[in-house]
Structure 1
Amino acid sequence: MKARILAGLALAALACLAGTALAQGAPEDPPRKAFRVCQDPNNLPFSNTTGEGFENKIAELFARDLGLPVTYYSFPNRLAFIRNTLRYKLPEEDYRCDVVMGVPAGFDQVSATKPYYRSTYALVFPRGKGMDHVRSSDDLLALPPERLRTLRIGVYDRSPASMWLARHNLVDRGVPYPIMSPDPEQYPGQIIERELAQGRIDAAIVWGPIAGYFARRVQSPELQVAPMKSEPGLPFDYAMAMGVRYGEPQWKKQIEDLIARHRGEILAILREYGVPLVEEATPTAGK
């Protein structure tokens, strides 16, 4: 998930003392013995049990800052993920984890932090198949009708991608895949790593971090990523935050302070994983 220059020894000492106090928690909070993360065990590029995801890397970054070990409580990110991780607590026991490293900004099942990155859905397709000039959704729509009619575009059901196909009369070009699967071995990148790479579809429209990571991971064929552009009433780009339990404002502020303090390192991790980053639109004066 990155560094800041402190001016003067006095400020450095003050920051060190503040960091130690935060790691131990405020007086009314129990001291934290670990940076406890709720994660999906098989959800690259975000997380997995061997710590290969970018959310794992950001968690490690934060834990080092706090002088704490990282621990994980894993549960497949399907229905009731928050209930079975962040909110899971047996009588007379503590919660199993304290932070979800990636939730949509404003997600109401958690107390969401300020966003730490913004990405967009993206089109992924092989090079050398007559689409190399495509750099955006507009370029895709500008393809000759005879070319568009031949495309098989993989999308996850109930996603902005499936709605976009419907809006542009391309439903018959879509190849739907279920977003929820009872199979714990299933992961979202399979649409690229298997379906697209093996030629079952000609292109896929998926969430940007998945698109960027798996397009780099697939060696043959060589894949290209084109970000999709939001349209009125159909957003493709979304801000992502972290989530803690309601009623823990000091912990939430501590996470937000870590995000702010390590912004450069977080962005470097995201770029390393090929995440297409989108700048927040600046409001027009008078709007």
Structure 2
Amino acid sequence: MTEARLPINTDRVDLRRLTAGAALACATAALLATAPAVQAGEGKAGGRDAVRVCQDPNNLPFANDKEQGFENRIAELLGKYLGVPVTYFNYPQRFVFIRNTLRYKLPGEDYPCDVIIGLPVGFDQVAVTKPYYRSTYAMIFAQGKGLDDVNSVDDFLALGPERLSKLRIGLYDKSPVSQWMDRHNLVDQGVPYQTINVAMDHYVGDIIDKDLAGGKLDVAIVWGPVAGYYASKFNPPMKVVPMKSEPGIQFDFAFGMGIRRGEPEWKAQLEGFLDTHEAEIAEILKAYHVPLVEGEPKVVSN
């Protein structure tokens, strides 16, 4: 895989705040190494010499510059399908991501990348394919710390005012969690974190790795794929309880692939890939402990 970098500045897409291993590596490699699979990619690239992916270099479980995220695994699968290599253009999401990646173009030069592997359906800065997964925010907490009887959001709310009042609940600002905390009289228990953190070593899971694991928080409520992935890193694993959308508060979002507008053939190629690789993608998501929500995807507006 190759990498490109660009020193610039786009409409920020820090979506995963709202927004693991390769357990499947052998099975997926065996499937894709067959002659029919390679042949299936012939002619599907549409003149492209590579799948050029826009990504954040430090954004596990989604992606990183070591190609360890589930979006990296899906990109590899896409490259095999199209019969071309995968390259990455790395740029931090918190620094105006879209304008500096997918839509950035110098005179006389090509775009640095052509697809963002994960964007919410309905995101209006780009064209988004049909969804390939739908997840939800999730509550995460350590086992053996007094919350082992909590298996659902209803269980959590049924703990009663005395127990709830003693909890420190971490959440990112500008997320639906803030509204949910207010609705259920938990504002005083909230420990807010900035959605936009410009520290170069910041990553989406540090609220779990550092403050939750370190005892500064009792509970965190974050985007589900983040909760599921980082929960699995502990022994015993932390407990993950999916949030459920309520009237006026949407926790679950469907994600597809993002491309520039006006590229219908490229979109059709990507959706053809999604149609024919549902099972493989589902296995990748399972390996990264992504909590999935069934049913019709909802549309999120900016």
Fold in common (TM above 0.5): yes
For 1:280, the equivalent position in structure 2 comes to 295
Q: Tell me the amino acid that sits aligned with residue 181 of structure 2.
A: L
**Any conservation in 2 of the 1:118–1:238 contact (CA below 8 Å)?**
yes
The 5-angstrom pairing of residues 176-191 of structure 1 reads: 176-191=192-207
Q: Give the count of matched residue pairs.
A: 267
Q: How far, CA to CA, are the matches of 1:197 and 1:129 in structure 2?
A: 11
Task: Provide Cα deviations, 1:157-199, integer angstroms capped at 9, x if missing partner.
Answer: 1111111101111100000011111112101100001110000
Q: How far, CA to CA, are the matches of 2:95 and 2:42 in structure 1?
A: 37
Whether 1:128 aligns to 2:144 is yes
Structure 1 residue 222 displacement after superposition: 4.0
Structure 1 residue 64 displacement after superposition: 1.1
Q: Secondary structure at the match of 2:118?
A: strand
Task: Provide Cα deviations, 1:20-78, integer angstroms capped at 9, x if missing partner.
Answer: 2221x1xxxxx211110000000000000000000000000110111111100011011
For 1:20, the equivalent position in structure 2 comes to 42
Task: Provide Cα deviations, 1:261-284, integer angstroms capped at 9, x if missing partner.
Answer: 1110000000100000000159xx
Identity of aligned residues (%): 59
For 1:197, the equivalent position in structure 2 comes to 213
Once the two structures are overlaid, the 10-residue window that deviates more, 162-171 or 52-61, is 162-171
Once the two structures are overlaid, the 10-residue window that deviates more, 121-130 or 197-206, is 121-130
Whether 1:165 aligns to 2:187 is no
For 2:7, the equivalent position in structure 1 comes to none
**Any conservation in 2 of the 1:123–1:227 contact (CA below 8 Å)?**
yes
Whether 1:224 aligns to 2:239 is yes
Q: Tell me the amino acid that sits aligned with residue 91 of structure 2.
A: F
Q: How far, CA to CA, are the matches of 1:153 and 1:63 in structure 2?
A: 41
4+ residue runs of structure 1 moved beyond 2 angstroms?
none
Q: How far, CA to CA, are the matches of 2:100 and 2:134 in structure 1?
A: 26
CA RMSD of aligned residues (A): 2.1
Whichever of the two has the greater Rg, that structure is: 1
Scaled by the length of structure 1, what TM-score is found? 0.89
Unaligned runs of 5+ in 2: 1-23, 298-302
**Any conservation in 1 of the 2:44–2:83 contact (CA below 8 Å)?**
no
Q: Tell me the amino acid that sits aligned with residue 42 of structure 1.
A: N
Q: Tell me the amino acid that sits aligned with residue 43 of structure 2.
A: A
**Any conservation in 1 of the 2:43–2:82 contact (CA below 8 Å)?**
no
Q: How far, CA to CA, are the matches of 2:168 and 2:237 in structure 1?
A: 18
Q: How far, CA to CA, are the matches of 1:116 and 1:176 in structure 2?
A: 31
Q: Specify which of 30, 34, 45 is matched with residue 61 of structure 2.
A: 45
Unaligned runs of 5+ in 1: 6-11, 26-30, 283-287
Q: How far, CA to CA, are the matches of 1:161 and 1:135 in structure 2?
A: 18
Q: Secondary structure at the match of 1:21?
A: coil
**Any conservation in 2 of the 1:42–1:184 contact (CA below 8 Å)?**
no
